[in-house]
Structure 1
Amino acid sequence: MGPAAYGLVPLAMVFTEYISVITVSINGAITRFITIDIQKENWLSANKTFNTALFAMLAIILVQVPLLSYVTADVTSIFEVPEELVYDTYYLFAFTFLGYLISLLSSIFSTSMYAYNRLDLRKVVDLSRIVLRVVTIIICFTVFEPSLKFVGLANLIGALTAFIYAVSNWAKLTPQLRISIKDFRFPILKKLVSMGGWLIVNQIGFLLFLKVDIFVVNKFFGAEATGKYSAVLQWNVLIRTMAGVLSNLIGPMLLISFAKNKIDDVIRIAKMGVKFLAIGVGLMTGIICGFSDQLLSLWLGPEYAIYAGLMIIMLCHLVINLGVLPLFQINTSLNKVKIPGLFTGGFGILNLLLAIVFVKVFGFGFWGVALAGAIAVTAKNGIFTPIYASHILNISKTTFYKPLMEGLILFLFTYLISFITNSFVPISNWFMMTISGALVFVLVAISTWFVLLSETDKDMIGSTIVPKLEKITKKFS
Structure 2
Amino acid sequence: MNVGHVQLRRNLYSNMASLLVNICIGILYTPYLVRELGISAYGLVPLALIINQYIGVLTDALTSSLTRFYMIAIQEENWQSASRYLSSSFFLILGIILLCSIPAFVFVDRIDSVFNIPEAVLVSAKYLFAFTILSFFCSLISSILNIVLFTLNRLDYLNVIKIIRGAVKPFLVFVFFNCIAIDLTYIGLANVIGELVILGCSYWFYKKFTHPQIKLSLGHFNKTALVSLVVMSVWVIVQSVGDLGIYRIDVVILNLFWSTKESGIIGSFSELGAYLSIISVLFVSLFGPLILNAYSQGDHEKVKELTLDNSLIIGIAVAVMVGVLIGFSNFVVTFWLGEAFTSYTRWFSIKLILLPFYTAAGFFVNVTRSWNKVRFPALMTVLFGLLNFALIYSVAQFFEKTNQSIDWILMISLIFGILQSYFLNGLYFSKLYKNTIKVVCLNFIKTASVLAVVAFTCSFVSAYLIGRNTLTNVVVILLLGMFFLPLSLGVFLDKRQRNALIQIVLKNK
One-letter code aligned to 1:204: V
Distance 1:396 1:464, change over 3 A: closer
One-letter code aligned to 1:441: G
Question: How much has 1:225 moved relative to structure 2?
Answer: 1.8
Contact 1:33 1:49 in 2 (8 A): yes
Report the equivalent of 1:418.
Answer: 458
In structure 1, what is the Cα distance between the partners aligned to 2:399 and 2:329? 25
In structure 2, what is the Cα distance between the partners aligned to 1:196 and 1:290? 40
In structure 2, what is the Cα distance between the partners aligned to 1:275 and 1:181? 44
Question: How much has 1:429 moved relative to structure 2?
Answer: 4.1
Match of 1:16 among 31, 40, 52: 52
Which has the higher mean CA deviation after the structures are superposed, 277-286 or 174-183?
A: 174-183
2:285 is the alignment partner of 1:248: yes
Report the equivalent of 1:474.
Answer: none
In structure 1, what is the Cα distance between the partners aligned to 2:357 and 2:201? 34
In structure 1, what is the Cα distance between the partners aligned to 2:325 and 2:226? 45
Question: How much has 1:414 moved relative to structure 2?
Answer: 0.7
Report the equivalent of 2:156.
Answer: 120
Report the equivalent of 1:433.
Answer: 473
Report the equivalent of 2:68.
Answer: 32
In structure 1, what is the Cα distance between the partners aligned to 2:271 and 2:347? 12
In structure 2, what is the Cα distance between the partners aligned to 1:396 and 1:252? 22
- SS of 2:437's equivalent in the other structure is coil
Match of 2:95 among 59, 75, 99: 59
- SS of 1:409's equivalent in the other structure is helix
Question: How much has 1:53 moved relative to structure 2?
Answer: 0.7
Contact 1:113 1:122 in 2 (8 A): yes
2:174 is the alignment partner of 1:134: no
Report the equivalent of 1:353.
Answer: 390
1:185-224 correspondence runs (5 A): 185-224=222-261
In structure 2, what is the Cα distance between the partners aligned to 1:413 and 1:340? 31
Match of 1:102 among 138, 148, 162: 138
Runs of 4 or more consecutive aligned structure 1 residues displaced over 6 Å after TM superposition = none
2:276 is the alignment partner of 1:239: yes
In structure 2, what is the Cα distance between the partners aligned to 1:258 and 1:386? 18
2:209 is the alignment partner of 1:173: yes
Report the equivalent of 1:404.
Answer: 444
1:307-322 correspondence runs (5 A): 307-322=344-359
Contact 1:198 1:337 in 2 (8 A): yes
Report the equivalent of 2:340.
Answer: 303
Which has the higher mean CA deviation after the structures are superposed, 101-110 or 393-402?
A: 393-402
Question: How much has 1:300 moved relative to structure 2?
Answer: 1.8
Report the equivalent of 1:161.
Answer: 197
Question: How much has 1:362 moved relative to structure 2?
Answer: 4.0
Q: How does the TM-score come out when normalised to structure 2?
A: 0.89
In structure 1, what is the Cα distance between the partners aligned to 2:438 and 2:125? 49
Which has the higher mean CA deviation after the structures are superposed, 389-398 or 126-135?
A: 389-398
Report the equivalent of 2:416.
Answer: 376
Distance 1:45 1:418, change over 3 A: same
2:374 is the alignment partner of 1:334: no
Contact 2:360 2:422 in 1 (8 A): no
Consecutive unaligned residues in structure 1, runs of 5 or more: 471-477
Contact 1:202 1:342 in 2 (8 A): yes
Report the equivalent of 2:331.
Answer: 294
Question: How much has 1:402 moved relative to structure 2?
Answer: 2.1
In structure 2, what is the Cα distance between the partners aligned to 1:456 and 1:365? 47
Question: How much has 1:23 moved relative to structure 2?
Answer: 4.3
Report the equivalent of 1:4.
Answer: 40
2:401 is the alignment partner of 1:365: no
Q: How does the TM-score come out when normalised to structure 1?
A: 0.94
Contact 1:141 1:150 in 2 (8 A): yes
Structure number with the bigger relative contact order (C-alpha 8 A, sep ≥ 6) is 2
State the number of aligned residues: 469
Distance 1:24 1:462, change over 3 A: closer
- State the Cα deviation string for residues 36-90 of structure 1 (Å, max 9, x = none): 1122221110001111111111111001110121122222222111111112112
Distance 1:75 1:295, change over 3 A: same
Distance 1:335 1:10, change over 3 A: same
- SS of 2:439's equivalent in the other structure is coil
Which has the higher mean CA deviation after the structures are superposed, 271-280 or 360-369?
A: 360-369
One-letter code aligned to 1:412: A
Contact 2:251 2:267 in 1 (8 A): yes
One-letter code aligned to 2:501: I
Alignment RMSD, CA only?
Answer: 1.7
Consecutive unaligned residues in structure 2, runs of 5 or more: 1-36
Contact 2:316 2:489 in 1 (8 A): no
In structure 1, what is the Cα distance between the partners aligned to 2:451 and 2:361? 15
Question: How much has 1:261 moved relative to structure 2?
Answer: 0.8
In structure 2, what is the Cα distance between the partners aligned to 1:146 and 1:428? 32
- State the Cα deviation string for residues 129-172 of structure 1 (Å, max 9, x = none): 11110110111111122211110111111111111111111111
- State the Cα deviation string for residues 172-215 of structure 1 (Å, max 9, x = none): 11143222111111111111111112112111101101121221
Percent of residue pairs bearing the same amino acid type: 25
Distance 1:238 1:428, change over 3 A: farther
Report the equivalent of 1:70.
Answer: 106
One-letter code aligned to 1:161: V
In structure 2, what is the Cα distance between the partners aligned to 1:224 and 1:249? 38
Contact 1:53 1:108 in 2 (8 A): yes
In structure 1, what is the Cα distance between the partners aligned to 2:145 and 2:265? 37
One-letter code aligned to 2:283: L
In structure 2, what is the Cα distance between the partners aligned to 1:449 and 1:190? 44
Contact 2:466 2:473 in 1 (8 A): no
Report the equivalent of 1:475.
Answer: none
Report the equivalent of 2:308.
Answer: 271
In structure 2, what is the Cα distance between the partners aligned to 1:461 and 1:21? 32
Contact 1:344 1:380 in 2 (8 A): yes
Which has the higher mean CA deviation after the structures are superposed, 429-438 or 115-124?
A: 429-438
Contact 1:274 1:404 in 2 (8 A): no
Contact 2:358 2:421 in 1 (8 A): yes
In structure 1, what is the Cα distance between the partners aligned to 2:493 and 2:382? 35
In structure 2, what is the Cα distance between the partners aligned to 1:120 and 1:361? 50
One-letter code aligned to 1:129: R
- SS of 1:242's equivalent in the other structure is helix
One-letter code aligned to 2:322: T
Which has the higher mean CA deviation after the structures are superposed, 428-437 or 98-107?
A: 428-437
Contact 1:358 1:372 in 2 (8 A): no
